[in-house]
């Protein structure tokens, strides 16, 4: 690639950045560099590319990182062994004992657990706020607030936060804004361009896209943060394997086309569900009645592939639907080509039961896949009609 990657469109960057044909063999696809170590030219002298040990760096991982940075329009990307490892690194680099952070009231359950159960033991304090309400966030800010941790859309209620406004609010208070961009993906939303300081991803979800790999990433424009994250990752070792990096890179190539289809299918399903007599409320930012609709239309390209809804007849009826669908597989996780259904209260969000983050029992969450939309609608209809 001779041109500046930023001058290419999204799909071109996904397929080409960091992925030039292998200079030695001409292999069109970046090889899986399944090696732990690298020959050195002399004591202390690495060969070109300065690889010396694969915890520190590996060429397959480097390719993935270059592509990820280009997709988020960021300067630096670091790949991690999981989304939680990526989040953990950001939290540990940004916070010291006595520091405070603000979390959204439907932050990913694993992130909440990490902060609530692990970080608090190291003297870090947190407050929960509805990030859609800027006044609430402003009044949660303290002199020692160092981070605002934002998801938009949120999980599982698909709330929308104003990323640009949160970034400004954070910066006025001397804090940084982290955006977990897992649900939107860089195809739909690029938080660094809206003023965020750090983007984190669970690449396990849409970026990998095929439910066959667990991974995470951090993207930032800050040279200083990148150095500190790199140092921590090399010290603590939460790196993805070369094969995992390769699978994620392969998934990335089709992110744009997959997201278009995820969005189209989800829009149709959200509209159809909102008219079904067994459905009480549909949570999807693409619906005009969603409170975050106009904000989502402003900061996102489309509205994503996640849809949640409540059953009119309560929790047991919702559980029945989740066990009756055939194409929608009953499983945790999201973002793969296949559609999934889950009951957040008893599955993904069981760990937040009894806390401020508790979700309604009659709620179901769909990760709408890229199958034939008619088949997906029929599957949901027959499960709902029987409930």
Ligand X SMILES: *Cc1c(COP(=O)(O)O)cnc(C)c1O
List the catalytic residues.
Answer: 55, 108, 180, 205
| Residue 178 interacting with ligand X (CB under 6 A) | no
Instruction: Name the residue nearer to ligand X (CB basis): 38 or 206.
Output: 206
Q: Does 82 bind ligand X (CB under 6 A)?
A: yes
Q: For 32, list phi and psi in degrees, rounded to 5.
A: -85, 105
Nearest CB to ligand X, comparing residues 217 and 225: 217
Q: Is 186 in the site for ligand X (CB under 6 A)?
A: no
Give the whole-angstrom CA distance, residue 367 versus residue 307. 7
- Closest listed residue to residue 321, CA positions, set 383, 257, 232: 383
- Of 240 and 324, nearer to ligand X (C-beta) is 240
If binding is defined by CB under 6 A, does position 182 make contact with ligand X?
yes
Quick one: which H or E segment has residue 279? strand 279-283
* Residue 276 CA: distances (Å) to CA of 224, 271, 309, 344, 378: 52, 9, 11, 21, 12
Which residue's Cβ lies closest to ligand X?
83
Q: Binding segment for ligand X among 107-115, 285-293, 300-308, 364-372 (CB under 6 A)?
A: 107-115
3-state SS record for 90-106: HHHHHCCCCCEEEEECC
- Residues belonging to the chain: 387
Nearest residue to 36 via CA among 52, 21, 24? 52
Question: Count of CB atoms within 10 A of residue 196's CB?
Answer: 26
Could you say which residues in the range 205-224 bind ligand X, by CB under 6 A?
A: 205, 214, 216
Which range in 32-40, 108-116, 257-265, 377-385 contacts ligand X by CB under 6 A? 108-116
Contact set for ligand X, span 147-176 (CB under 6 A): 151, 155
User: By C-beta, is 113 or 253 nearer to ligand X?
Assistant: 113
Lay out the site mask for ligand X across 323-352 (x = CB under 6 A, - = otherwise).
Answer: ------------------------------
Q: Judged by CB under 6 A, does residue 59 bind ligand X?
A: no
Closer to ligand X by Cβ: residue 108 or 246: 108
Query: Quick check: 330 and 322 in contact, CB under 8 A?
Result: yes
Shortest spacing between CB 333 and ligand X, in angstroms: 7
- Distance from C-alpha of 236 to C-alpha of 228, rounded to nearest angstrom: 12
What is the C-alpha to C-alpha distance for residues 141 and 176, in angstroms, rounded to an integer? 12
Minimal distance, residue 81 CB to ligand X, in Å: 8
Please give the residue ranges that form the binding site for ligand X (CB under 6 A): 82-84, 108, 110-111, 151, 155, 180, 182-183, 202, 204-205, 214, 216
């Amino acid at each position: 690639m001779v041109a500046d990657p930023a001058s290419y469109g999204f799909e071109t960057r996904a397929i080409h950045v960091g992925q030039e044909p292998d200079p030695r063999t001409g292999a069109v696809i970046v090889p899986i560099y399944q090696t732990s170590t690298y020959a050195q030219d002399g004591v202390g002298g690495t060969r070109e590319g300065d690889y010396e040990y694969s915890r520190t760096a590996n060429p397959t991982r480097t390719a993935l990182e270059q592509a990820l940075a280009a997709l988020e329009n960021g300067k630096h990307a670091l790949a991690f062994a999981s989304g939680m490892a990526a989040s953990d690194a950001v939290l540990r680099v940004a916070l010291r004992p006595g520091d405070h952070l603000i979390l959204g009231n439907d932050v990913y359950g694993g992130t909440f657990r990490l902060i609530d159960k692990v970080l608090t033991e190291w003297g870090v304090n947190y407050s929960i706020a509805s990030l859609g309400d800027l006044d609430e966030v402003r009044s949660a800010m303290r002199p020692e607030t160092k981070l605002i941790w934002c998801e938009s859309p949120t999980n599982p209620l698909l709330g929308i936060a104003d990323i640009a406004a949160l970034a400004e609010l954070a910066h006025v208070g001397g804090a940084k804004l982290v955006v977990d961009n897992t649900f939107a993906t860089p195809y739909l939303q690029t938080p660094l361009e809206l003023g965020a300081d750090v983007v984190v991803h669970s690449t396990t979800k849409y970026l990998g896209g095929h439910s066959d790999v667990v991974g995470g990433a951090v993207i930032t424009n800050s040279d200083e943060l990148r150095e500190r994250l790199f140092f921590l990752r090399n010290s603590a070792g939460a790196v993805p394997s070369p094969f995992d990096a390769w699978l994620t890179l392969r998934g990335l190539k089709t992110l744009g086309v997959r997201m278009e289809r995820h969005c189209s299918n989800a829009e149709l399903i959200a509209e159809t569900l909102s008219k079904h007599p067994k459905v009480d409320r549909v949570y999807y930012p693409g619906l005009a009645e969603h409170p975050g609709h106009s904000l989502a239309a402003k900061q996102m390209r489309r509205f994503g592939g996640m849809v949640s809804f409540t059953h009119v007849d309560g929790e047991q009826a919702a559980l029945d639907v989740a066990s009756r669908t055939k194409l929608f597989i009953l499983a945790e996780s999201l973002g793969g080509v296949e559609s999934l259904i889950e009951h957040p209260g008893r599955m993904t969000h069981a760990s937040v039961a009894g806390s401020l983050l508790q979700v309604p029992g009659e709620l179901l969450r769909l990760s709408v896949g890229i199958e034939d939309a008619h088949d997906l609608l029929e599957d949901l209809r027959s499960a709902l009609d029987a409930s």
